[in-house]
Amino acid sequence: MLTPSKAIELVLEAARKGRAVERPLEEACFLVTAEDVIAEQAYPYFSYSSMDGYAVHSEDLDGASTDNPVTLPLAGEIRAATGKRPVLPRGQAIRIMTGGPIPEGSDAVVQQEDVDEKADSVIFYGPVAKGNFINREGEEIARGDILWPAGKALNPAAIGLIATFGVSSIAVYPAPSVFILTTGDELIAPGEPRGYGEIYDSVTPMLASALRWAGFDRISSRRCKDDRGLLHDALSLALAESDIVVSVGGVSMGEYDFVRDVAERAGVEKIFWKVSQKPGKPLYFGKKGDTLLFGLPGNPAAALACLQLYVLPAARRIMGYSSPGPEWLNGVIAEAMENRTDRTNFLRVVARKDAHGGYLLERAGGQSSYMLSSFSRANALAQLPPGPVRIDAGEKVQFAPLFWDVE
């Protein structure tokens, strides 16, 4: 059986970067740029005041002090948006607002709090350094500088930086659309009365939420009975209209586990079935054209672990992320942990920073594949090697932080 790391490798190999599209800048946050974004001009575009105060010729205040103040006549006022560059005559001061262009001749701004203003003059009680409270033209960015490199996900500050230059759209790799197709005769929707043996579908809202949290906003979902015909139709449609299809349930060895069979009839080419892991052993992965199909087992904790470990990295690779995860870190276990299976065991754990900057890992609770209470308290998945093996308190194991751990 495939090891999890080999399975992740196969997934990332199959997940190809999508085609770049032009997007409104405001909708591009979190997406990866397809080209370098270049500054078309220098920034600041013009020198301007960073304070409310008075623009002066600094030399006019040489020698000023509390005992020996200097009074300059007031030449007028500069607001933030002046049509053209004002001029400051020698020996005068001019009132200037934050954002106001520094007038020709001025080389410093004295803040309002440090002066006294009379009807048509200003009294200064000290000298001022050249450049004081001036954001100087071109001091931050030169024309032709790379504002943001190709291949890097845009963060909100980057959006602001690029917007500074009047850019309204940008070439990025779009996030994939995802279709969640849940299977099972026993599943009912919230609000429906529950008959004996039926259960509410918890996996659809959970996976949709995880995807949304990770930044994906084109998510569709549908619930389907364990019926070959219905499943075939639903799956064919999902494969046709989405970049990633995540089916839930029906990939094990049971009588009614139709997903693999139906998928292959619908034209999906199998890449693997079964991974040597717990939970999530029956994970199925295939491809039709550029659309990826992940057949997740229906047990809720297994489904969520597989989403975290396989689906999200694939989605990020499609978006052009160079390190799409999962990211494995080293931690130390706080209590002995045992893996009785011969598969890699992913445990829901709470990872806490210890005094030395390392991580201490504790079990988050029951580890059965159906249990979500532990998952809801966990902030990481720890990885125990195939067993049977017992790992003692204080020993090292690898763990992957859950992406929604934001406490």
Whether 346 contacts 309, CB under 8 Å:
yes
Question: From the CB of 248, what's the least distance to ligand AMP, in Å?
Answer: 5
Contact code string over 208-247 relative to ligand AMP, x by CB under 6 A: ----------------------------------------
Question: From the CB of 346, what's the least distance to ligand AMP, in Å?
Answer: 17
Give the separation between CA 201 and CA 245, rounded to whole angstroms: 18
Give the separation between CA 46 and CA 238, rounded to whole angstroms: 53
Interacting partner of 199 out of Mg ion, ligand AMP, none (Cβ under 5 to 8 A depending on kind): ligand AMP
In the three-class reduction of DSSP (H, G, I as helix; E, B as strand; rest coil), residue 66 is classed as coil
Question: From the CB of 403, what's the least distance to Mg ion, in Å?
Answer: 27
Total residues at interface with ligand AMP (CB under 6 A):
18
Give the separation between CA 376 and CA 382, rounded to whole angstroms: 15
Whether 170 contacts 22, CB under 8 Å:
yes
Question: From the CB of 256, what's the least distance to ligand AMP, in Å?
Answer: 8
**For Mg ion, the closer CB: 250 or 324:** 250
Looking at 15-143, list the stretches that DSSP marks H as alpha helix, in order from N- to C-terminal side.
Answer: none
Give the separation between CA 46 and CA 139, rounded to whole angstroms: 10
Q: Which residues contact 141 (CB under 8 A, 6 or more apart)?
A: 39, 42, 43, 147
Scanning 263-271, 286-294, 296-304, 306-314 for contacts with ligand AMP by CB under 6 A, the matching segment is 296-304
Please report, as residue ranges, which positions from 243 to 282 form the binding site for ligand AMP (by CB under 6 A): 248-250, 252, 254
Interacting partner of 308 out of Mg ion, ligand AMP, none (Cβ under 5 to 8 A depending on kind): none
**Strands 380-384 and 396-401: what pairing?**
antiparallel
Question: From the CB of 195, what's the least distance to Mg ion, in Å?
Answer: 16
Give the separation between CA 296 and CA 284, rounded to whole angstroms: 7
Give the separation between CA 192 and CA 325, rounded to whole angstroms: 38
**For Mg ion, the closer CB: 18 or 250:** 250
- One residue of 59, 137, 140, 186 binding ligand AMP per CB under 6 A: 186
**For ligand AMP, the closer CB: 236 or 252:** 252
Q: How far is CA 254 from CA 122, 184, 226, 259, 282, in A?
A: 88, 12, 11, 11, 11
Residue 350 identity (one-letter amino acid) = V
Scanning 107-115, 135-143, 184-192, 318-326 for contacts with ligand AMP by CB under 6 A, the matching segment is 184-192
Question: From the CB of 184, what's the least distance to Mg ion, in Å?
Answer: 4
Interacting partner of 203 out of ligand AMP, Mg ion, none (Cβ under 5 to 8 A depending on kind): ligand AMP
Whether 368 contacts 346, CB under 8 Å:
no
Instruction: For residue 257, list its beta bridge partners.
Output: none
Question: From the CB of 207, what's the least distance to ligand AMP, in Å?
Answer: 9
**For Mg ion, the closer CB: 23 or 260:** 260
Q: Is 300 in the site for Mg ion (CB under 5 A)?
A: no
DSSP label of 328:
P
Q: Is 107 in the site for ligand AMP (CB under 6 A)?
A: no
Residue 169 identity (one-letter amino acid) = S
Residues that bind ligand AMP (CB under 6 A): 182, 184, 186-187, 199, 201-204, 248-250, 252, 254, 297-300
Residues that bind Mg ion (CB under 5 A): 184, 249-250, 298
